[in-house]
Amino acid sequence: MPDKKTIWTKKDLLGLEYLSKEEIELILYTAESFKEVTTRQIKKVPALRGKTVMNLFYEPSTRTRTSFELAAKRLSADVVNIEIEASSVKKGETLIDTGRNIEALKIDIIVVRHSASGAPNILARNVKSRVVNAGDGWHEHPTQALLDMFTLKSKLGRIEGLKVSIIGDIAHSRVARSNIWGLTKLGALVTVCAPPLLIPDGIERMGVKVTGDINEALADADAINVLRMQFERDGALAFPSKLEYFKQYGITAERLKQCKKDIVIMHPGPINRGVEMSSEVADGRNSVILEQVTNGIAVRMAVLYLVSYAKDPAPSKETMRVGEGGAG
Amino acid sequence: MSKSYLIKGGRVIDPLNKRDGILDIFISGGRIEAIGKDLGQRADETIDGKGRIVAPGLVDMHVHLREPGREDEETVLTGSRAAVRGGFTSVLCMPNTDPAIDNPAAAKSLKAIITKDAACSVLIAGAATLARAGGKLTDFERLKKEGVIAVSDDGSPIQNKDIMREALEHAKTAGLILIEHCEDLGLSSGGVMNKGFISTKAGLKGISTKSEYEAIGRNLELAKKLDARIHIAHVSCGESVDLIRKAKRAGVKVTAETAPHYFVLTDECCAAYDTNTKMNPPLRTKKDVAAIRAGLADGTIDAIASDHAPHTDAEKDVEFDYAPFGITGLETMLSLAVTELVEKSVLSWSELILKLSANPAAILGLERGSLKEGGPADVTIIDPDKKYVFRKDSIESKSKNSPFIDWELKGKATDVFVNGKHVMKDELIL
């Protein structure tokens, strides 16, 4: 349970980098009670009755959008979904204009997914509506990391002191970044493992151990978070073939033999079976992949609830321009 | 008949003539008629220089005035007024206009606009290659006849080594300086900020220092082989400073400039996705800022230039990835240099004026950059102690894309004379 004195004061949830340990714990704690709601016969509470949530998605995403939509609906909020094709962004209305129009529609919370890193920060700076980041570029995917941590905590009882390895395309992964911030703040020991070209510059300064050796990443790990490999972009240059990747980095039953017996295996989905992990592992006893999906709703309910009730929040530093806040 | 002026009792700093003392300057007929103690000439107007610095007119050798083609961002009129506001008497405008200044007719028509609109001396750089495409060289000799004083494909670095060789050779023959934006596009393409920890954290694609210094290395080698002059634009990182320092020691005819943002800001400013921190080359690290300062102090970097790159709010108020590169700089350059270099003892006043006036004038071959009797009366008067907050609504440039808005700065130009004409008086453009 988090410190009783912790109250939520932030207007937005833009990334876990910007949260304190206590704020992260508060979200996880709040999610516990909403988890219970999702197991009831009638899965609905009136917490956000009369509020409107807009899912503003500049990138196609069925699972995250559905999860946010269900979370909002189970809190009795009204939900509107908008999908904007990324290709039309540059020619069409600007993000800020879109945000102001949404604000004029009296939307309380904007859940935004965008292919450009920092788009939620820019949006948050320009609207009074609360902004929740549902994934931006390679930057952050805070609710995914929160649901990963929630799942981990419910499986192993704690986060502090756990050894967690994040395996896969770290360079292009917002899931990796949010997990690193969240896990390290809560005291986990994080290792990232990827082919050398998929390890971004200076990642060790985020407080993680770096390795290219899958066996090192698996040895002693209490949990692993296996990322989706996307060969269709830079990954194609960084790694020659799917089969080769599976051989060198894929999680197989054989490799699991050297691991802790109760190692928790997570994946943000969708899985490439036979690329990041074998089907046997994905469907095996250590996999919590479907529990992650269920927990996602409770965690997103907690986030929507908390940002919605923050009173007169001050603008956060992560959205400020250079001259603001006394720089210079 | 133009008015005559007597600037009395200012601290005259003219590094080229090794002058630094309380002196009077008498300006008449567009020329400096006399410099000395307690001059007795009678002038139409006397200006009290007490407590102020009287310097040769400042020269900014790297600005973008956007005319023709992007008059929504800046024009010769608004850009040259911004220059005067910043204390500049001469600016060199880069040829990446639309269309580019890649033929004599384009230079001629730009010259006509300058004659009509410019508030200070606006000098023209011509494109080095047609349409700045890096393929076929422009006609340097004919451009020069139309008043072009330098050639550059600024913003579009010349990738092909043979073309670069030809450009250096022809510039040498034509007696023009080649100004090169050094960047290996193969290494930097798609990048939006410095490659490093901050870009990793922010999830933005990085531009390595390597993409800059490898291109500089290649171009220095060519300049050395051909014994040709080259000027390196906007140096941003430590490795580049090291290469230029070594090349100078080895006798390569290289000069270099940096911009204020490279000795003031770091890539940490990009972490909140403020698009006014997006420029090319990108803001680097603390280590690089220190190296740039050291390069300025030891003379490796000859000049400070603004790379004034105006963009409209509409263009800049977008996602970091989609925003154009560049910030305005004419109106903050002098103050940033005073605040960050003179006040912090990186440069003396005399050294600063070298880098803001005498050196860029010499690189461009201008009869400017010093105060001599009989010479053109380009004079900038600076209040070295003036503290002010740089406000958006005070900006003279048509564009407001500056990361320095609301910064408290020290040191400001109060009066500017261009060819003996008093174009700014007590911070008011006349």
Instruction: Indicate the pTM of the whole model.
Output: 0.95
Cβ-defined contact of B204 to A327 (cutoff 8 Å): no
| Residues 220-259 (A) with a CB less than 8 A from some CB of B | none
Taken in order A152, A156, A161, A162, the sign of the CA dihedral is: negative
Does A321 reach chain B within 8 Å, measured CB to CB? yes
* Residues B266-272, mean pLDDT to the nearest whole number: 97
From the candidates B263, B269, B274, B319, which should be mutated to test the interface with A, based on the most A CB atoms within 10 A? B319
CA distances A275 to A231, A247, A251, A271, Å, are 10, 9, 9, 8
8 A C-beta contact, residue B206 and residue B230: no
* Residues A277-282, mean pLDDT to the nearest whole number: 97
Nearest to A322 among B196, B206, B269 (CB): B269
Cβ-defined contact of A202 to B265 (cutoff 8 Å): no
Question: pLDDT digits over B53-82, tens only?
Answer: 999 999 999 999 999 999 999 999 999 999
Helix (H, G, I), strand (E, B) or coil at A140: strand
Angstroms from A99 CA to nearest CA on chain B: 12
Chain A neighbors of B204, CB-CB under 8 A: 117-118, 137-139
* Residues A90-117, mean pLDDT to the nearest whole number: 92
pLDDT category, A239, cuts 50, 70, 90?
A: confident
8 A C-beta contact, residue A128 and residue A156: no
8 A C-beta contact, residue B79 and residue B38: no
Chain B neighbors of A118, CB-CB under 8 A: 202-204, 272-273, 319-320
Does B318 reach chain A within 8 Å, measured CB to CB? yes
pLDDT category, A6, cuts 50, 70, 90?
A: confident
Amino acid present at B137: L
Q: What secondary structure does DSSP assign to A92-138, as a single string?
A: S--HHHHHHHHHHTT-SEEEEEESSTTHHHHHHHH-SSEEEEEEETT
pLDDT at B204: 98
Cβ-defined contact of B200 to A202 (cutoff 8 Å): yes
Within its chain, how far is the Cα of B257 from the centroid? 8
Angstroms from B202 CA to nearest CA on chain A: 5
Exposure class string for A56-87: b at 16+ Cβ within 10 A, else e: bbbbebeebbebbbbbbbbbebebeeeebeee
Chain B neighbors of A192, CB-CB under 8 A: none
8 A C-beta contact, residue B116 and residue B93: no
Quote the DSSP letter at residue A207. Answer: S
Chain B neighbors of A237, CB-CB under 8 A: none
Listed as own residue / partner, the contacts of B102-109 with beta carbons closer than 8 Å and 24 or more positions apart are B102/B126, B102/B127, B102/B129, B102/B130, B102/B131, B102/B132, B102/B138, B103/B138, B103/B139, B103/B142, B103/B143, B104/B139, B104/B142, B104/B143, B104/B145, B104/B146, B107/B143, B107/B146, B107/B147, B107/B148, B108/B146, B109/B68
Question: pLDDT digits over B132-183, tens only?
Answer: 999 999 999 999 999 999 999 999 999 999 999 999 999 999 999 999 999 9
Quote the DSSP letter at residue A273. Answer: B
Does B406 reach chain A within 8 Å, measured CB to CB? yes
B143, B138, B87, B82: which is closest to B110 by C-alpha? B143
Cα(B182)–Cα(A87) distance, integer angstroms? 31
Question: pLDDT digits over B324-345, tens only?
Answer: 999 999 999 999 999 999 999 9
By C-alpha distance, the chain A residue nearest B264 is A328
* Residues B358-387, mean pLDDT to the nearest whole number: 98
CA distances A109 to A113, A119, A224, B327, Å, are 13, 15, 33, 33
pLDDT category, A241, cuts 50, 70, 90?
A: confident
Two tokens, residue B181: 């934006």
Question: pLDDT digits over B222-259, tens only?
Answer: 999 999 999 999 999 999 999 999 999 999 999 999 99
Cα(A295)–Cα(A141) distance, integer angstroms? 15
Mean pLDDT of chain A: 92
Q: Which residues, including other chains, have CB under 8 Å from residue A4's CB and lie 6 or more apart?
A: none
Cβ-defined contact of A94 to B314 (cutoff 8 Å): yes
Cβ-defined contact of A139 to B408 (cutoff 8 Å): no
Does A315 reach chain B within 8 Å, measured CB to CB? no
pLDDT at A85: 81
Does B374 reach chain A within 8 Å, measured CB to CB? no
Cα(A309)–Cα(A55) distance, integer angstroms? 19
Helix (H, G, I), strand (E, B) or coil at A56: strand
Angstroms from A180 CA to nearest CA on chain B: 10
Chain A neighbors of B313, CB-CB under 8 A: none
A259 bridge partner residues: none
A140, A139, A146, A131: which is closest to A55 by C-alpha? A131
Does A17 reach chain B within 8 Å, measured CB to CB? yes
Cα(B371)–Cα(B6) distance, integer angstroms? 14
Query: A with B: how many residue pairs have Cβ under 8 Å apart?
Result: 100
pLDDT category, A86, cuts 50, 70, 90?
A: low
Does A136 reach chain B within 8 Å, measured CB to CB? yes
Does B187 reach chain A within 8 Å, measured CB to CB? no
8 A C-beta contact, residue A185 and residue A20: yes
8 A C-beta contact, residue A231 and residue A239: yes
Mean pLDDT of chain B: 97
pLDDT category, B268, cuts 50, 70, 90?
A: very high
Angstroms from B206 CA to nearest CA on chain A: 9
A40, A42, A51: which is closest to A306 by C-alpha? A51
Sheet with A109-114, strands from edge to edge, namely A78-83, A52-57, A109-114, A130-136
CATH topology of domain A142-292: Rossmann fold (3.40.50)
pLDDT at A313: 76
What are the structural domains of chain B?
5-54+375-384+410-429 (2.30.40.10), 56-364 (3.20.20.140)
pLDDT at A124: 95
pLDDT over 50 at A108, yes or no: yes
Residues of chain A with CATH 3.40.50.1370: 16-140+296-321, 142-292
Q: What percent of chain A is modeled with pLDDT above 90?
A: 82
A62-74 and A142-156 helices cross at what angle (nearest 10)?
A: 70
pLDDT at A5: 74
Chain B neighbors of A89, CB-CB under 8 A: 319, 322
Q: How many CA atoms lie within 13 Å of B323's alpha carbon, on the beta-carbon side? A: 34
pLDDT over 80 at A88, yes or no: no
CA distances B296 to A77, B177, B354, B357, Å, are 60, 21, 11, 14
pLDDT over 70 at B219, yes or no: yes
Question: pLDDT digits over A289-326, tens only?
Answer: 999 999 999 999 999 999 999 877 766 667 777 766 44
pLDDT over 70 at B306, yes or no: yes
pLDDT category, A235, cuts 50, 70, 90?
A: very low
pLDDT at B1: 57
By C-alpha distance, the chain A residue nearest B278 is A322
Cβ-defined contact of A137 to B203 (cutoff 8 Å): yes
Nearest to B404 among A140, A320, A323 (CB): A323
Catalytic, out of B154, B307, B378, B383:
B307
Amino acid present at A40: R
Helix (H) or strand (E) holding A156: helix A142-156
A187, A271, A276, A205: which is closest to A239 by C-alpha? A276
Does A138 reach chain B within 8 Å, measured CB to CB? yes
The reply to whether B317 belongs to the active site is no
pLDDT at A311: 78
By C-alpha distance, the chain B residue nearest A178 is B201
pLDDT category, A327, cuts 50, 70, 90?
A: very low
Quote the DSSP letter at residue B34. Answer: E
8 A C-beta contact, residue A137 and residue A114: yes
A229, A230, A179, A238: which is closest to A208 by C-alpha? A179
Helix (H, G, I), strand (E, B) or coil at B145: helix
Helix (H, G, I), strand (E, B) or coil at B397: coil
Chain B neighbors of A144, CB-CB under 8 A: none
Cβ-defined contact of A202 to B273 (cutoff 8 Å): no
By C-alpha distance, the chain A residue nearest B403 is A322
Which segments of B97-175 does DSSP mark as H helices, in order? 104-117, 140-145, 161-174
Q: What percent of chain B is modeled with pLDDT above 90?
A: 99
CA distances B137 to A292, B73, B242, B306, B378, Å, are 61, 28, 30, 27, 34
Please state the CATH superfamily assignment of the domain spanning residues A16-140+296-321 in this structure: Aspartate/ornithine carbamoyltransferase (3.40.50.1370)
Cα(B71)–Cα(B78) distance, integer angstroms? 10
